[in-house]
Structure 1
Amino acid sequence: MKPDITREFTSMLNRVNLCAAIFAPMLMVHFQEADCCIDLRAVVLQQSSELQKIAEWTAVQSGLRATTSLPRLELRSPAELAAIRYGGSPVQMGADIIALYDPASRTILLSKNWQGTKTAAFSVIVHEMVHHLQQENGKRYGCVQEQEEQAFAAQDAWLAENGSSLEKEFGIDPFTRLVASLCPY
């Protein structure tokens, strides 16, 4: 049985050094008594103005209309992300999924197992924020892959502003980016 997150988070704040929670690149706090994991940065980000700043930056960068309706952030296991992405039961090829945007719940789903640099982590949120803004703006695409170009462009711009790139952080070169953005038919 998973603990009540609000109660556990309040209790956890009394036990965890908040400075470490805010400044550690991907501090994960695991509950000993439950199969549950919370990324404190996601909690802090969700309840601060940082997510709004990311949304505003992403809107300007992507050319999409800004919205005050922000997505939720949730952590999921790689198996859960694979099941959501590919439908039905989890598949092995989904183990490398870092994040997804779920338009039905307006939620950015982040892999609770992924650890990257702070710059890379925020770029993933930028990428998924593009999908949230596409949804909020009522954008329609010929296929799911077609919406990826705009998301990759914003993510790469975020990384470039922070001295990195899609290729350096994720191994996504320009050709891979192009192929990932084309409809298969």
Structure 2
Amino acid sequence: MQALLTVIVTWLSINFGLPAIYEHPQVEFVSAAKMADVRYSRLASNRREGVAAEAGYLAPTEPGHDVHAIYDDLSRTIYLPEGWTGETPAEVSVLVHELVHHLQNVALLKYDCSEAREKPAYQAQARWLELFDKNLAEEFEIDEMTVLVLTNCMH
């Protein structure tokens, strides 16, 4: 896993100007229930503290939507679902997305809102998929309009 993280950090640095920080996050493989627990406890904690929450990749807004991964800023941990193998471009693209958040966090990059922080993550994920002739719409049912909504500040 460490070698894969190093390759992705280097690729993100070259292609997106993100800092090449090789202080890798922890990576944990967890159940869907644990992933939901991490996401919702982080959202609740951030609301109480009055700070923007990192919603995580594909954080569901309604029942039935999958959470594919989550990055937790405080613990510097990427949570991937049990069964994640990294054998497909789509699976690795999820790691790419969350690694963007790790680099943003460690480099203390600032954004106008948590949604704006998602823009580079989706761009990197989309470009990773393009390397394999794949796209977000086919792999995750995320079209361009959805990305636009998920990556723009609504205040």
Q: TM-score, normalised by structure 2?
A: 0.79
Alignment match of 1:71 (pick from 25, 30, 40): 25
Alignment match of 1:86 (pick from 12, 23, 40): 40
1:104 is paired with a residue whose SS is coil
Residues 173/115 of structure 1: CA separation in 2 closer, same or farther (3 Å cut)? farther
User: In the alignment, what sits opposite 2:5?
Assistant: 51
User: In the alignment, what sits opposite 2:55?
Assistant: none
- Looking at structure 2, the residues matched to 95 and 167 of structure 1 have their Cα atoms a distance apart, in angstroms, of 14
CA offset digits 1:74-96 (Å, max 9, x no partner): 012112222222226xx973861
Alignment match of 1:132 (pick from 102, 106, 110): 102
- Looking at structure 2, the residues matched to 148 and 71 of structure 1 have their Cα atoms a distance apart, in angstroms, of 18
Alignment match of 2:121 (pick from 151, 154, 167): 151
Percent of paired sites with the same residue: 39
8 Å Cα contact 1:78-1:113 kept in structure 2: no
Higher relative contact order (CA 8 A, sep 6+): 2
Unmatched 5+ residue regions in structure 1?
A: 1-44
Deviation at 1:61, TM superposition (A): 2.2
TM-align CA RMSD: 2.2
Deviation at 1:143, TM superposition (A): 2.1
- Looking at structure 2, the residues matched to 84 and 94 of structure 1 have their Cα atoms a distance apart, in angstroms, of 18
Alignment match of 2:75 (pick from 83, 102, 105): 105
Q: TM-score, normalised by structure 1?
A: 0.67
1:93 is paired with a residue whose SS is coil
Instruction: Indicate yes or no: 2:134 matched with 1:180.
Output: no
8 Å Cα contact 1:77-1:113 kept in structure 2: no
8 Å Cα contact 2:35-2:79 kept in structure 1: yes
Residues 71/170 of structure 1: CA separation in 2 closer, same or farther (3 Å cut)? same
- Looking at structure 1, the residues matched to 129 and 150 of structure 2 have their Cα atoms a distance apart, in angstroms, of 18
- Looking at structure 1, the residues matched to 39 and 64 of structure 2 have their Cα atoms a distance apart, in angstroms, of 8
**Could you tell which deviates more after superposition, 131-140 or 57-66?**
57-66
How many aligned positions are there? Answer: 137
**Could you tell which deviates more after superposition, 59-68 or 167-176?**
59-68
8 Å Cα contact 2:86-2:92 kept in structure 1: no
- Looking at structure 2, the residues matched to 170 and 51 of structure 1 have their Cα atoms a distance apart, in angstroms, of 22
| Residue identity matched to 1:51 | L
